[in-house]
Amino acid sequence: MPVRGEQLERRVRRMDAELSRLERAATRAITGEIADASRRLEREIRGLYLDALADTRGEDVAVREARARSLLARVEGLTDLTADVPDGELDVLVTGAAEAGASAAEDEVALYEDEARSARPRNTALAAIATTAVAAIARNGRQHQERIERHVVDGLAAGRGWGQVRTDLRQEAGILQRSAERHVKSTSVDASDEGHKATFEANGVQYEQLLATMDERLCGYCANRAGRVYELGDIQLPLHDHDRCTTVPWKREWQEAGLTDDEWFEAHRAESLARAQEGQRTGASPSERRRGLDKAPEPVWTPRTDTVAAREAVERIPPTPAPPPVVRPARPRVTEKTRSRGPTRPPTEAERVAARREFQGEWVAGARRKRSVALKHGAQQELGIRGLVYQTRRFNFTQAEMGRARIAARKMYEDTQAAFRRQGVAEVRLYRGVKTAYEDVGVIESWTTDINVARKFAGARGDIIEEVIPVERILISHRSPGWRDGRFGAQSEYVVMPHRPRRQ
Amino acid sequence: MIRRKAKVTSVETGETREVVRLTPETEEDLREIDRLREAGLLDHRNSFADDPGAWDE
């Protein structure tokens, strides 16, 4: 009777819950200290900044910068927000995670053998993990220290008010807290992996099998290794930041005796490969590359993915949401092939109407779609809207596509403005939902006259912006000629630009 | 980077607070925006359709 895969998985999840508890405690202590340090800095620097701002009004930039440097000298030591992060928290985390890993490994071995014992990793190994984590957090702190000091210098040089500089400082503290949290999680997985390995070794286990964490963000490295068996020590977790995979013990004699649940691992591997939206990655993982490895370790056994169990596992997967976006440079790329074409004839009215319909229909399907990104660039070029387009995918546009986007933007704007003129409307009260403290201002973005639509877009914990917007800033609205709602129905939508067009 | 504060009303509590609206002007600004997004601090939805989950009843 094999040890069922579900039994192994249950033990792993129990360990994961314990790791999460330890991580929360360490994260709370570390991010709390960063928040305290940020408040201390604000308290000390506020008065100094305001005095310097008043004293250097009318002075040239060099004088203001010099004053900023002298100001920073007076708060030396406070701008490194990680200076007082307690190292002890990381020691507690490392020890606890290693024990949790060792205890889980003992439970796993006990499923196969009558006797099993847990073993503590070497102190030097644990000390090295804790030291690495402390160093990583400190390194981040120094990087943010430089950014914090630059905000102060740039702020004073540009004559920015304290509120603006304070916002920048808080932003740095927030990012630092998030990165500290990431380090805590990686450290905990690293230490628990050491605990696993020490216990496997103490029980004569020479191989380990990778158990991937099955969620919608499963990466290609983990999918590639899911269910595979490696010599003990060939795999070191985490494979990358945010990796929650683990390993379970494996012996050849267990497999030969029919004790390993190969069918379950076939299904596990097939499902992992199907869930990894980026496909499998066969090379060295990010953390392996950091350790100087240039290729992935060789497995000693790989579950088959052409079996009935594997096929059925894939068929059971529910549809997954779209993959997380990848940020690419923002400028539109126009292909060379069409760039050399000479001037084209002006579009006919039918072509203008068709372009408006095409791009408006795409906008109500999403701003990250290719033609919506083209429309943003089209509005920029045709109407002179400032700012860069922040986009998460890089598209290649042909000259013809960009031309149509410009035609669409112009047609939308002309028709909409004409409609407002006919109605005698000069401005509109509009609402927009926001989910976080920062928002990037789109070259065009959806607003609404219906506050309930804005509430839904903001979500239960979000906020609503309310603004009276001059109609010259509206590219198109649900009341414009030819408007068609998207699949979410009527949303009383107005597509708004950040300022009036600079090209009329 | 153009930073503009906007007064907002919390859906949950009705309190008034501020958000910062960022307009990138340089490639460095885009990278900063990217860092904010990575850190989960930035709302990067432009079209209502960018958040299908918002319209689920």
pLDDT in tens, chain A (504 residues): 789 999 999 998 899 999 999 999 999 999 999 999 999 999 999 999 999 999 998 888 889 889 999 999 999 889 999 988 888 889 999 999 999 999 999 999 999 998 999 898 888 889 999 999 999 999 999 988 998 998 899 889 888 889 889 988 988 898 899 889 989 999 999 999 999 999 999 999 999 999 998 765 688 899 999 999 999 999 999 998 888 899 999 999 999 999 999 999 999 999 898 887 667 889 999 899 988 999 999 999 999 988 988 888 888 876 644 444 445 545 666 665 544 444 467 888 888 999 999 999 999 999 988 999 999 999 999 999 887 887 777 788 888 889 999 999 999 999 999 999 988 889 999 999 998 888 888 899 999 999 999 999 998 888 999 999 999 999 999 999 989 888 888 899 999 999 999 876
From residue A112, alpha-carbon distances to A12, A98, A253, A260, A264 in Å are 15, 22, 11, 9, 16
Residue range B1-56, pLDDT digits in tens: 888 888 898 888 888 888 889 888 888 888 888 888 887 788 989 999 998 888 86
Check B24 against A327: CB less than 8 A apart: no
Length of chain B: 57
> Chain B residue with minimal CA distance to A179?
B39
Q: What angle do CA A270, A275, A278 make, to 5 degrees?
A: 115
Cis preceding linkage at A319, omega within 30: no
Give the pair of three-digit tokens for residue A111.
């499923």
CB contact under 8 A, A457 and B23: no
8 A C-beta contact, residue A438 and residue B42: yes
Contact A103, A118 (CB under 8 A): yes
State whether B21 and A175 contact (CB < 8 Å): no
Say what the pLDDT of residue A324 is: 45
Burial of A86 (0-12, 13-18, 19+ CB in 10 A): middle
φ and ψ of B36, to 5 deg: -65, -40
User: Comparing C-alpha atoms, which of A168, A149, A163, A167 is closest to residue A70?
Assistant: A149
How many Å apart are CA A357 and CA A304, to the nearest integer?
A: 50
Query: For A29-67, how does the pLDDT look when each residue is reduced to its tens digit (9 = 90+)?
Result: 999 999 999 999 999 999 999 999 999 988 888 898 899
Which chain B residues have a beta carbon less than 8 Å from that of A327? Answer: 30, 34, 37
Structure token digits, residue A107: 């439970």
Chain-chain contact of B6 with A465 (C-beta, under 8 angstroms): yes
- How far apart CA A255 and CA A97 sit, in angstroms, is 29
Q: Closest Cα partner for A360 from A481, A279, A467?
A: A481
CA B50, CA A452: separation in Å to the nearest integer? 17
Determine how many CB atoms are found less than 10 A away from the CB of residue A182.
17
Closest Cα in chain A, distance from residue B28 (Å): 11
Residue B23 and residue A497: Cα distance in Å, rounded?
12
A231: its two tokens = 């010599």
Structure tokens of A247? 């390993």
CB contact under 8 A, B48 and A453: yes
Residue among B45, B55, B56, B57 with most chain A CBs within 10 A, to mutate: B45
The b-or-e profile of A108-137 (16+ CB within 10 A means b, else e) is: bbbbbeeebebbbbeeebbeebbebbbebb
- Asked if A387 lies within 8 A of B44 by C-beta distance, the reply is no
| Smallest CA–CA distance from B30 into chain A, residue | A390
- Chain A positions in Cβ-Cβ contact with residue B49 (cut-off 8 Å): 363-367, 446, 486-488
Separation of alpha carbons A207 and A56, rounded Å: 68
Beta-carbon separation of B48 and A491 below 8 A: yes
Are A405 and A345 spatial neighbours (Cβ–Cβ below 8 Å)?
Answer: no
Q: Degrees (nearest 5) of the Cα angle A194, A200, A203?
A: 140
Are the Cβ atoms of B11 and A175 closer than 8 angstroms?
no
Interface mutation target, options B7, B32, B47, B50, chain A, most CBs of A under 10 Å:
B47
**Which of these, B37, B44, B14, B6, lies nearest to A460 by C-alpha position?**
B14
Q: Exposure of A298 by Cβ count < 10 A (0-12 exposed, 13-18 middle, 19+ buried)?
A: exposed
Q: Please report residues of B whose CB lies closer than 8 A to that of A437.
A: 19-20, 41
The pTM score is 0.59
Contact A175 B26 (CB under 8 A): no
Q: Does residue B28 belong to the interface with chain A, where contact is any CB pair within 8 Å? A: no
Interface check for B1 against chain A (CB to CB < 8 A): the answer is: no
In this structure, are residues A200 and A208 in contact, taking their beta carbons and an 8 Å threshold? yes
Q: Which chain A residue shows the shortest CA-CA distance from B34?
A: A327
B21 vs A174, A388, A441: nearest CB: A441
How far, in Å, CA of A126 to CA of A95, rounded? Answer: 7
